[in-house]
Amino acid sequence: MSDLQHINVKIGLANESKLDGERVVEIFHGWISKQASPDEGVLIDVADYRHVPEGPGILLVGLHADFGLDYADGRAGLRYNRKGAVGGDNAKRFKQALSAAARACAKLEEETKGGLKFARDGFDLTVNDRALAPNAPETFTKHKAELEAFAAALGGGSVERLNAGEPRRLFGARITLKKPLDLAKA
Amino acid sequence: MKASNALWKERLAGKIDEALAKEVDTFEMEIELRKQGKVDEKVFAETRLRRGTYGQRYDNGQRHDGTESKKLPFEEKLTKGPMTAWDAPGMQRIKIPYGGLNPEQLEVLADLAEEYSDSIAHITTRQDVQLHFVHIEDTPSVMRRLAAAKITTREACGNSVRNVTGCPFAGVCRDEPFDVTPYARALAMFLLGHPDAQNFGRKFKPAFSGCAQHACGLTAMHDVGYTAVVRTVDGKEERGFCMVVGGGLGSVPYQAKVFEEFLPLNELLPTVQAIAKVFGKHGEKKVRSRARLKFLVADWGLEKFKAEVAAERKKLAPDPRWTSMLPKADLEDETPLKPPGEMPSLGNDERLQHWARTNLREQRQAGYVVATLALPLGDITANQLRDLADIARKFTKGTVRATVEQNLVLRWVSKADVVELYKALSAAKLAAPGASNIQDIVACPGTDTCKLGISSSRGLAAELRGRLVAKGTALDRAIQDLHIKISGCFNSCGQHHISDIGFYGVSRTVSGFRVPHFQVILGGQWEENAGSYGLPIIAIPSKRIPDAVERITAHYLKHRQPDERFTKYVRRVGKGPIRELLEPLTKDLPDPAKDATLFSDWGDPRQYSIGDIGKGECAGEVVSAYEFATTEAERMVFAAQLKLDAGDAQKAGEEAYAAMKMAAKALVQLQYDDVTDDAQEVADEFKERFYDTKVFFDPFAGGKFADYYFAAHEKRGQKFTAEFAKYTIEEAQLFIEAVHSCYNKLRTEGIGTKP
Ligand code: SF4
């Protein structure tokens, strides 16, 4: 099975109307100041793209990964973008990205005192590298079993290809879970 | 760093133009050698800059969190330049000659923005594209993928020929005598990597415009600018260019001077080659702040410069490319996809009507329009780039260009398709109305990503844009038509000098705390290719700038004469009354302990460098004397402007110099109370205490601003022409800003002992 790297996970925001962007900017600055990254990496800067419709929103830029309150495709959510390579196999990399995203969500929920609430019923997993994972049906066929095994390890769920019919977009899958995702333990 | 870098190299082998492929391979090797410590960091820095690979804020591994400066835990000791951590993300600038882009290139940019950057492509005021937060070791892949789409990043930065800009309406504009596009392309190709253009002390920026009256090409603010002209000789029409030289914005803006009223087409390339040779040979190399072509032209005078260029031109060995690179006459550069059409009814949709009024422009070719995509702060997402590629293919033959207003235009849209196009753009969230209006604010990266940023130009732009968009068409048309441009510092990347209302970032110390400010610049002229530059009025706390805009626009509306343009209104009313209008905004800053709003910048909750403020050795009375003296110096610079406006260049120049002396003395007095008012003594004491010790030096600009003072001091007895007085005023303003910065530094590090 070929190596997938640069895994992205996006966990949807369940209460977008309550989103206070200013507060999120402040929280992200706080994480940089304390170097308290949910994935223990180096944090560098905050980039605020809220002026761009359906854009990357509020981005916490790190050395090996970015965390963003992302608005792409008109859906707000926390997106973890792994930039540095991760060792091990694909299953390990899926888990690393999901854990980092989930921990960031849990931290944001806690620090906004419930102001932000993230969905527990699933997430989007994409591979931010077209050379490693072209968005083609064959890529999905090749990695479907791995993705299903990953869903199964989370208590079971369905795996559906994302961006099908849009070969220029990133390859990925929507994973819908049977059991609510435990953000702290994912 | 991407795991797929080797894969791209393999995959694109043989698919890239050989010369481009070789360049990228060489750069990749240089990266490797630097990693092994076999290339000096300074040499490597210039190498990467020449490939468009720039540093970014915080790449020195330090970041201020509002209370203290902290080290960012970058892993390695390796650097990619002096004080530049290897792993720190950087900016990749991508040269787009005359802004011309096709759908395949848009798609590549989209993929690169998504995979290596932050999903955003940023359009610059020089029609480049910038990607931020890119890792140095990913840049060869970025360059290869661009090269496969026939784009190079070569000489996008560094001391080289930068992007050749051109009017985005060239070829379709009603006011141009001919299309400058193929000539801009020829000049860009000719100079790229040209051996005579490799020895500059600073950058060199060429620009093309189709006509003299509009702003699209901004030729007057370039090192070398070309405006299309046609003359008739013996009844036959001949094409050529009005060529200007020695313009530039930067900290002190210079208007270019006419070098040749009519430069024949076959002289385009040899003449620029001769200019490059002269600039390479005689341009300043050591003092960076004096190394642009504008200083050589100003120091020599135009006649001497022309004579040197003519002499150099004579010596050039003939190059067949001087003519072979030029286009065949009357060759159409672009053609439409669809037949021409009639404008359909726009119905009752007010937003569509607003968009059609502000974002569509009739082409010279009947039945076609150019549609402008007004990008917020010049930003476009990867998904939007792909949508735009589809739209460009559906409605045109893929004819897209970037503009100097940080927008994109789609050319050759059949009028019959206007409503359909609007729907498609709306679906892609690219149909914002108000292109080239007050809400379409131009801003440089500022403190967001630029290492030199002082105030948050993008934060301010986003705030102002939000407020102005909300008002939309409720704003008076006279206000809608104004331009706002913002730079994060005096370096003018946001082109604040050529805007109705311009701002550049400065900082001030108020009650011992630093407060982000913007200097207000009024009366710059955007039209006539940046026909005249505005001058500073007053510095205002960043958070009060929206109030300043309200006050200025309300005053303009109330006091303008029928149909009076803003530039004329500023000239008529005079800067004095406008300063009076704004002055209250500089007063009564709240106690930061009670209300800290003004003590942080837009979009950044950190206290604005408040942790930098330590307890200096300065006694209260000395601080008061300093503040009193620098306030007086600022008033004097302003008075100098008024004198210049009134036509008294001599008094204006003298007053500007006196303001510099006053500010210099204010610093000297911090250490040496007994300094007299004698001009020579002030200059000597200043030099000894602050220049020779480098205490006054800016980490990036070095001693540049002190050099302004010393030069003015040397020339103080001379006659001031209007032009010389104007430059002295600009330099005085910048010198005073630098005095403020030095004072802030001294307060942090200690004033030093008084002898
Ligand atoms: S104007 Fe100053 S802050 Fe803005 S990009 Fe230029 S150097 Fe940076």
- Is B462's CB within 8 Å of A61's CB? no
Ligand 1 atom closest to B489 (CA): 2
How far apart are the CA of B126 and the centre of ligand 1, in A? Answer: 13
Chain centroid, CA B610 distance in Å: 28
Look up residue B112 and give its amino acid: L
Which of B162, B205, B450 is the best mutation target for the ligand 1 pocket, counting ligand atoms within 8 Å of the beta carbon and taking the most?
B450
Give chain A positions within 8 Å (CB) of B429.
53-54
What is the mean pLDDT of the segment spanning B429-441?
A: 96
Return the SS3 of B254.
Answer: strand
Q: With beta carbons less than 8 A apart as the criterion, state whether B225 and B244 touch.
A: yes
Top-level class of domain B173-324: alpha beta
Which pLDDT tens digits describe chain A residue by residue (186 residues)? 589 999 999 999 998 877 889 999 999 999 999 999 999 999 999 999 999 999 999 999 999 999 999 999 999 999 999 999 999 999 999 999 999 999 999 999 999 998 999 999 999 999 999 999 999 999 999 999 999 999 999 999 999 999 999 999 999 999 999 999 999 888
| Alpha-carbon distances, residue B355 vs B352, B436, B542, B550, B553 (angstroms) | 5, 11, 31, 24, 23
pLDDT digits (tens, 9 = 90+) for B648-662: 999 999 999 999 999
What is the mean pLDDT of the segment spanning B585-603?
A: 90
Give chain A positions within 8 Å (CB) of B11.
131
A143 vs chain B: nearest CA distance in angstroms?
18
Range A32-38, long-range pairs (CB < 8 A, 24+ positions): A32/A60, A32/B63, A32/B65, A33/B65, A33/B66, A33/B70, A35/B73, A37/A62, A37/A65, A37/A67, A38/A67, A38/A100, A38/A101, A38/A103, A38/A104, A38/A107
Residue A183 lies in a domain: no
Q: With beta carbons less than 8 A apart as the criterion, state whether B668 and B676 touch.
A: no
With a 6 Å cutoff on the Cβ, whether B455 touches ligand 1 is no
- Residue B83, pLDDT score: 87
Those of residues 54-93 in A touching chain B at CB distance below 8 A are: 54-56, 59, 61, 63, 66, 72-73, 83-85
Residue B726 main-chain phi, psi, to 5 deg:
-65, -45
- Residue B536, pLDDT score: 86
b/e A154-168 (16+ beta carbons within 10 angstroms → b)? beebebebbbeeeeb
With a 6 Å cutoff on the Cβ, whether B452 touches ligand 1 is yes
CB neighbours of residue B501 within 10 Å: 27
- What secondary structure does DSSP assign to B349-386, as a single string? -HHHHHHHHHHEEE-SSTTEEEEEE--GGGEEEHHHHH
- Residue B622, pLDDT score: 42
Q: Which helix (H) or strand (E) holds A160?
A: strand A157-162
Q: What's the rounded Cα separation, in Å, for the pair B40 and B42?
A: 6
Chain A residue with CA closest to B136: the answer is A63
Q: What's the rounded Cα separation, in Å, for the pair B82 and B86?
A: 10
pLDDT digits (tens, 9 = 90+) for B564-579: 999 999 989 988 899 9
b/e B91-102 (16+ beta carbons within 10 angstroms → b)? bbbbbbbbbbbb
Tell me the residue range of the domain where A89 lies: 7-177
Fill in the DSSP letter of residue B398. Answer: S
| Alpha-carbon distances, residue B623 vs B637, B717, B747 (angstroms) | 21, 32, 10
Q: How many CA atoms lie within 13 A of A113 on its CB side?
A: 1
And the tokens for B365? 């070719």
pLDDT digits (tens, 9 = 90+) for B262-301: 999 999 999 999 999 999 999 998 777 789 999 999 999 9
CB-count exposure of residue B2 (10 Å: 0-12, 13-18, 19+): buried
Which residue in the block uniquely carries the two structure tokens 């100079």? B191
Residue A185 lies in a domain: no
A52 vs chain B: nearest CA distance in angstroms?
6
Give chain A positions within 8 Å (CB) of B87.
63
How close are the terminal C-alpha atoms of chain B, in Å? 54
**Range name among B97-101, B158-162, B627-631 with the lowest pLDDT average:** B627-631
**Could you give the number of structural domains in chain A?**
1
CB contact, 8 Å: A5 with chain B? Answer: yes
- Residue B434, pLDDT score: 95
Chain centroid, CA A2 distance in Å: 21
How far apart are the CA of B739 and the centre of ligand 1, in A? Answer: 19
How far apart are the CA of B97 and the centre of ligand 1, in A? Answer: 22
Look up residue A162 and give its amino acid: L
With a 6 Å cutoff on the Cβ, whether B450 touches ligand 1 is yes
Which residue in the block uniquely carries the two structure tokens 């037949």? B339
Top-level class of domain B438-610: alpha beta
* Residues whose CB is less than 8 angstroms from the CB of residue B641 and which lie 6 or more positions away in sequence, other chains included: B535, B536, B575, B652, B729
- Residue B509, pLDDT score: 82
pLDDT digits (tens, 9 = 90+) for B673-722: 778 889 999 999 999 999 999 999 987 788 999 999 999 999 988 899 99
CB neighbours of residue B234 within 10 Å: 5
- Residue B615, pLDDT score: 28
Residue A170 lies in a domain: yes
Ligand 1 atom closest to B450 (CA): 8
Residue B53 main-chain phi, psi, to 5 deg:
-100, 105
What is the mean pLDDT of the segment spanning B170-180?
A: 93
Chain A residue with CA closest to B141: the answer is A131
Return the ∠ at Cα B618 (arms to B657 and B453), rounded to 5°. Answer: 60
Chain centroid, CA A138 distance in Å: 23
Which residue has the CA at smallest separation from atom 6 of ligand 1? B493
- Residue B557, pLDDT score: 95
Residue A62 lies in a domain: yes
Give chain B positions within 8 Å (CB) of A49.
118, 120, 379
**Range name among B301-315, B556-570, B666-680 with the lowest pLDDT average:** B666-680
Fill in the DSSP letter of residue B689. Answer: I
CB contact, 8 Å: A52 with chain B? Answer: yes
And the tokens for A84? 């540095």
Residue B620 scores a pLDDT above 80: no
Fill in the DSSP letter of residue B289. Answer: G
Residue B755 scores a pLDDT above 90: no
CB neighbours of residue B348 within 10 Å: 7
pLDDT digits (tens, 9 = 90+) for B327-354: 876 666 799 999 999 999 999 999 999 9
Give chain A positions within 8 Å (CB) of B111.
130, 168
What is the mean pLDDT of the segment spanning B44-55?
A: 91
Residue B614 scores a pLDDT above 60: no
Q: With beta carbons less than 8 A apart as the criterion, state whether B175 and B214 touch.
A: yes
Q: With beta carbons less than 8 A apart as the criterion, state whether B731 and B712 touch.
A: yes
Chain B residue with CA closest to A129: the answer is B115
E-assigned strands of B18-158? 53-54, 62-64, 69-71, 79-81, 84-85, 90-94, 100-101, 120-123, 129-134
With a 6 Å cutoff on the Cβ, whether B55 touches ligand 1 is no
Q: What's the rounded Cα separation, in Å, for the pair B345 and B353?
A: 10
Chain A residue with CA closest to B68: the answer is A33
Ligand 1 atom closest to B446 (CA): 3
What is the mean pLDDT of the segment spanning B37-52?
A: 89
How far apart are the CA of B528 and the centre of ligand 1, in A? Answer: 24
Q: What's the rounded Cα separation, in Å, for the pair B586 and B602?
A: 17
With a 6 Å cutoff on the Cβ, whether B443 touches ligand 1 is no
Q: How confident is the model at residue B529 (pLDDT cuts 50, 70, 90)?
A: low
Domain at B350-427, CATH from 3.40.50.920, 3.30.70.20, 3.30.70.3340, 3.40.50.1110: 3.30.70.3340
- Residue B616, pLDDT score: 27
Q: With beta carbons less than 8 A apart as the criterion, state whether B558 and B479 touch.
A: no
Chain centroid, CA B262 distance in Å: 28
- Residue B116, pLDDT score: 98
Q: What's the rounded Cα separation, in Å, for the pair B384 and A74?
A: 12
Packing angle of the helix pair B620-645, B649-671 (nearest 10 deg): 170
How close are the terminal C-alpha atoms of chain A, in Å? 24
B459 vs chain A: nearest CA distance in angstroms?
9
| Alpha-carbon distances, residue B429 vs A52, B387, B411, B436, B548 (angstroms) | 9, 10, 19, 18, 31
Beta strand pairing call for B100-101 and B236-245:
unpaired
CB contact, 8 Å: A36 with chain B? Answer: no
Give chain B positions within 8 Å (CB) of A66.
118, 133
- Is A83's CB within 8 Å of B135's CB? yes
How far apart are the CA of B509 and the centre of ligand 1, in A? Answer: 21
Give chain B positions within 8 Å (CB) of A58.
none
Range A59-66, long-range pairs (CB < 8 A, 24+ positions): A59/B118, A60/A28, A60/A31, A60/A32, A61/B89, A61/B118, A61/B133, A62/A37, A63/B74, A63/B75, A63/B87, A63/B89, A64/A39, A65/A37, A65/A39, A65/A41, A65/A100, A66/B118, A66/B133
- Is B3's CB within 8 Å of A73's CB? no
Q: Residue B65: which of A76, A31, A97, A33 has the closest Cα?
A: A33
Which of B457, B504, B506 is the best mutation target for the ligand 1 pocket, counting ligand atoms within 8 Å of the beta carbon and taking the most?
B457
3-state SS, one letter per residue, for A49-112: ECCCCCCCEEEEEECCEEEEEECHHHCCEEEEEECCCCCCCHHHHHHHHHHHHHHHHHHHHHHC
Q: Residue B111: which of A115, A167, A161 has the closest Cα?
A: A167
Question: By percentage, how much of chain B surpasses pLDDT 90?
Answer: 71
Confirm or reject CATH 2.130.10.10 for domain B614-755, answering yes or no.
no
Which residue in the block uniquely carries the two structure tokens 């620098």? B630
And the tokens for B562? 């029928």
- Residue B528, pLDDT score: 65
* Domain ranges in chain B with CATH number 3.30.413.10: 173-324, 438-610
Q: Residue B729: which of B664, B649, B656 has the closest Cα?
A: B656
How far apart are the CA of B221 and the centre of ligand 1, in A? Answer: 17
